Structure 1
Amino acid sequence: MMMMRAFFSYLFFLLFHFGCFTSSSHHHHHHHHPTKKRTLFSYLKRLFSSSSASHIPPPPPSIPSPSSSTRSLRLNPPLIAPLHDTDTARVDIHPCTVCGEIFQTPAFLHHHQSSKHGVSDLVDGENIVRIIFKTGWPAKTPAIHRILKIHNTPRVLARFEDHRERVRSAGTKSSRCAADGNELLRFYCTTFICSLDSAICNQQFCGACAIIRCGFSQKLDGIPTLPTGWKAHAAVPDDVEEEFGFMNVKRAMLVCRVIAGRVGTLSHDHEIDSLVGPADDELLVFSPRAILPCFVIVYTV
């Protein structure tokens, strides 16, 4: 009986202490552990927030507004930077209208067209050019071997038209200047030493190719142009082919459009564009931009 009482007393003691432990543990769980959990969570949150923020690159200064598309560009910058104006200029293309070859600058295209496609055999209008050239010859009849059409580049044509506009604006008192700049058809005789095919040569003493490629040279006393093929032919010495036969020099006639503008008779007049020469029918043009060669006639007399 004493043993039973002692057992129940021990059991009651154990239950009492177990209940206190449970209550103490439960009380500790509700009052202390959540604080530890919140402290740990706050620390982890601060740790990951600072870590991720340190890996986000700062927004570039050139991106302006805070729109949604801008924010996406800030967080995900493109791998390839956008092209600037200078980059765009470098990738411009200038195709040749004859052969289709591509060039990066207008200067390269101009050199290609004037060198490779400067002239071609004239098909349409050959009879008209032939008649114009043969008109005015007194006794000698020229033998025409080839008539070539000059393919002036867009830059040369623009330069010619710009000069016309300048003459028109300056010569408003003359109705002819105001209309077309007083444009005339004139002849200019020169020589050449190449085959004068579609590809223009770069030889120093080939006068026809030099004019087709670069235009007329500036001359202080003016560039002489004549009204007929015969007069232009007579302006070059008759023995030029014989004298320079060792260079295979041949004669060529250029048929040109000329903007005469205001024609004067005195060389000291600064308000004129061209001057009547000593032979009365010779017209001296002071600006190379005023002369546009259109046809090349290869001939012999």
Structure 2
Amino acid sequence: MVIPPETHLSETSLPPPHPESDISSDNPFSPLRNDIFPCTACGEVFQKPHFLEQHQATKHAVSPLLDGDSGKNIVRIIFKTGWTDKVRNPEIHRIFKIHNSTKILARFEEYRELVKAKAARNGAVVGRRDERCIADGNELLRFYCSTFMCDLGLNGSSGICSQQYCSVCGIIKSGFSPKMDGISTLSTSWRAHMAVPEDVEEEFKFMNVKRAMLVCRVVAGRVGSEGDETNKEDGGFDSVIGRGGGNMAHHTKVDEEELLVFNPKAVLPCFVIVYTV
């Protein structure tokens, strides 16, 4: 119920206190109604908001896209379009939407605003406006292939595991690691697939290693090329074209296969595809 601003609550409008009640703010062991935080997905109740966030980040991290869902068809088409190998076709087993935590989402949005602001400042100073960067941070849809070791999404499960070497679950839970020397994102699923050693499943079969494809939103920002003396500290570029790229300095249109993004906050995984070849 919305109270109009001209309406004032006076003490007389409030119900009289009940001294016989032992539920009060002075008693830390008595849970007040506004001190509980229920999970909207499963109904489990938590006493602290960060406990609820941890619960949702692990137990409800993904949700399956079902057959007939228009979103599933779109993701499937995006994934298959880049597959140029006519001999071996990927078989999609499961597609999931990733429910990023509020923390990861906030990091992504804040980074995009920084890139937009920097592009606007640069345009004002040097007179060259990077319109895409100013508009949306030069956001692109890119692919990232990695491995996982658990039963991710099997039988409709929405949780992720906490195994140390389960890369996909680690990325979904915490985002990309700042320890990485840039994040290599690819323009097609086929190129992303090829970026992971072909025999990784066979070599680590004893560890139940499988691969999955992450479909990501990427804030590319101002893009340099390997020919430039570009590094993540110089502040001039936010990402760089990798192998096979042309001279892309000072341009924002990216068609090249590999884009190395300097800041892990710039990559937001949105869907995960479990597949085999």
Into which bin does the TM-score normalised by the smaller protein fall?
A: 0.7 to 0.9
Match of 1:136 among 65, 69, 82: 82
Partner residue in 2 for 1:30: none
Q: Which runs of 5+ in 1 are unaligned?
A: 1-77
Shift of 1:80: 8.4
Residue 104 of structure 2 contacts residue 174 of structure 2 at CA under 8 Å; is this kept in 1? no
- 1:204-215 pair list within 5 angstroms: 204-215=164-175
Q: Which runs of 5+ in 2 are unaligned?
A: 1-19, 124-129, 246-256
Partner residue in 1 for 2:42: 99
Larger RCO (alpha carbons 8 Å, 6+ apart)? 2
Partner residue in 2 for 1:20: none
Task: Report whether the alignment pairs 1:271 with 2:219.
Answer: no
Partner residue in 1 for 2:131: 175
Match of 1:287 among 257, 263, 270: 263
Aligned length: 224
User: Which amino acid counterpart does residue 114 of structure 2 have in structure 1?
Assistant: R
The Cα RMSD (Å) is: 2.6
Q: Deviations over 1:135-165 (max 9, x none)?
A: 1222221111111111112222222111111
Q: Deviations over 1:212-243 (max 9, x none)?
A: 11111114530110010000000000000000
Q: Which moved further from structure 2: 98-107 or 243-252?
A: 98-107
Shift of 1:81: 11
Q: Distance in 2 between matches of 1:199 and 1:116?
A: 4
Answer 1 or 2: which has greater helix percent. 1
- CA 1:82 to 1:292, structure 2 compared with 1: closer, same or farther past 3 Å? same
Shift of 1:250: 0.7
Partner residue in 1 for 2:17: none
Bigger Rg, which one: 1
Q: Distance in 1 between matches of 2:199 and 2:23?
A: 67
Shift of 1:101: 2.5
User: Which amino acid counterpart does residue 74 of structure 2 have in structure 1?
Assistant: I
Q: Distance in 1 between matches of 2:21 and 2:58?
A: 43
Identity %: 62
Q: Distance in 2 between matches of 1:204 and 1:196?
A: 15
TM-score by length of 2: 0.74
User: Which amino acid counterpart does residue 248 of structure 1 have in structure 2?
Assistant: N
Shift of 1:298: 0.7
Three-state SS of the structure 2 residue aligned to 1:201 is: coil
Three-state SS of the structure 2 residue aligned to 1:191 is: strand
Three-state SS of the structure 2 residue aligned to 1:171 is: helix
Shift of 1:288: 1.6
Three-state SS of the structure 1 residue aligned to 2:213 is: strand
Q: Distance in 1 between matches of 2:271 and 2:199?
A: 24
Task: Report whether the alignment pairs 1:122 with 2:82.
Answer: no
User: Which amino acid counterpart does residue 267 of structure 1 have in structure 2?
Assistant: T
Q: Distance in 2 between matches of 1:298 and 1:102?
A: 32
Q: Distance in 1 between matches of 2:57 and 2:23?
A: 38
- CA 1:82 to 1:151, structure 2 compared with 1: closer, same or farther past 3 Å? closer
